[in-house]
Structure 1
């Protein structure tokens, strides 16, 4: 299955993620790719709004009342949503013993920065009305990892109660593409290519330089952020983002752990229930959140 999935992603998905392909087609492809993901058996889903932000609530067996996971999905800020990431939210929620909430935040280019951040912060404020902050975690993959960092910084700067933990899956923390693996992994990465993420970065940033910490939170002040766990594959162009983020977080005094998964590609956790590596990652991230729930 691992070889089959890698081949399918390289031959079908990677060519679609190109500046030459209309975003409307990319979005349809992202939804179709979601069909390859598996929900935990017995997951119940509910549509709702979180302070005006459309969202999907996912209750997998074992979720405990009062514990909530906010998932901010990936997709380079231009695609993704419940169809592509609902299963990942449910898998993470079950592993953490929490109800999962997937915020369907506004996308670029129609809605560049700060629309996604505003929506993520609104969703977090809604969760604070329903739960104690110490019983809320925030997770994000790829661009969602960028957004998870950005909203954690916004929560800190606004003086809001912080979440219990941050979970970062292959975070796209640096939109300037200054990481070494952007180049050294360009051929090895079966999913992402530098040209596509570079184009998406500009669509999201609008008139703001991608080096601005608001766009690339790797360069922001990380002091005082909640404990974070970072998972990344060794074959992806964003490996350097994870490694540098872990270094900067540790230097800022943040509790941080980094797990590199040998031979794995970007966002392989989307295949939980099919890949042993994905299951191991989800389980470890779930245990991390369970460890940091605060009563």
Structure 2
């Protein structure tokens, strides 16, 4: 992922949020109102703001909104719920600085799952909700009970069930996955959530994580868009500039973000 080209018309600088290192990414021109709090992917055990920098920068470039990408703690040294605790602490600190209606929680893969579970943890802590959530190919069920975990085996060019079983155990640290913060697609009540955009590929093992979360959002009367693109790999928007579908998906994501963040 470090080889993905980063747009040149953004600025980046080291930062800190919620007691954790972070990377601030801003447009080259005056940013428009709002903050994207970004959570990188990596199966909860790999990655950093640097590995997701290209995707974060493309969102900043398209929206004109600054992003803060968090370097949350990783398994196996820091299993569940350490990552969620870090993301929630970052959100708390951001709330002390800006209006919650100007914050979007955004992430890819494991980070997409953290965007959802951080919102769950924030609601349970009686914190105000952010303006919106955007999740790219999110991991939303550590029970691995989605049908596509089986039906897309062999079609997914990125993951196998065996791969995901190993990283799951690293993150769980022996804990029961059958709970809302580990399986929101199967267990979470999304009542009170902000609007959600889920973008995922049709051949992903994780496809049903997004499909089922969208259904839970509908049941909770939450605005939700389930955006499925055919024949693309996991976190395909990261391939901006290479895949036409990636650029088109990022355009849709940027439109969704700007529609839900303040205009002035």
Aligned to 2:135: 168
Q: Structure 1 residue aligned with 2:240, among 269, 272, 276?
A: 272
Q: 1:105 to 1:201 in 2, by over 3 A?
A: same
The equivalent of 2:111 in structure 1 is: 144
Q: CA deviation at 1:109?
A: 0.2
Structure number with the higher helix fraction is 1
Higher strand share: 2
Which one of the candidate residues 104, 117, 136 is aligned to 2:71? 104
Please say if residues 120 and 181 of structure 2, whose CA atoms lie closer than 8 Å, have aligned partners that are also in contact: no
1:247 and 2:215 are equivalent in the alignment: yes
Q: Take 1:176 and 1:154, find their aligned partners in 2: how far apart are those partners?
A: 19
Alignment gaps of 5+ in structure 2: none
1:293 CA displacement: 1.3
- How far has the Cα of 1:112 moved from its partner? 0.5
Instruction: Give the aligned length.
Output: 262
SS of residue matched to 1:83: coil
Correspondence for 2:22: 55
Matches of residues 206-285 of structure 1 in structure 2 within 5 Å? 206-218=173-185, 219-285=187-253
TM-score normalized by the length of structure 2: 0.95
Alpha-carbon shift at residue 65 of structure 1 (Å): 4.6
- Structure 1 unaligned regions, length at least 5: 1-32
Aligned residues of 2:184 and 2:213 also touching (Cα < 8 A): no
Give deviations 1:72-107, integer Å, cap 9, x for gaps. 111110101122101111111222221011100000
Q: Which of residues 131, 136, 154 is equivalent to 2:121?
A: 154
If the length of structure 1 is used for normalisation, what is the TM-score? 0.85
| TM-aligned CA distance change 1:238 to 1:62, over 3 Å | farther
CA positional deviation for 1:43:
1.5
Task: List structure 1 segments (4+ residues) > 4 angstroms apart after TM superposition.
Answer: none
Contact 1:249–1:256 (CA under 8 A) maintained in structure 2: yes
Query: Is 2:18 the counterpart of 1:38?
Result: no
Give 1:194's match in structure 2, choosing from 126, 148, 161.
Answer: 161
- Please tell me whether the aligned partners of residues 243 and 258 of structure 1 are also in contact (alpha carbons under 8 angstroms): yes
Name whichever of 165-174 and 154-163 sits farther off.
154-163
1:63 and 1:258, CA in 2 relative to 1: closer, same or farther beyond 3 A?
Answer: farther
- C-alpha RMSD over aligned residues: 1.4
The 10-residue stretch of structure 1 (198-207 or 225-234) with the greater mean CA deviation from structure 2: 198-207
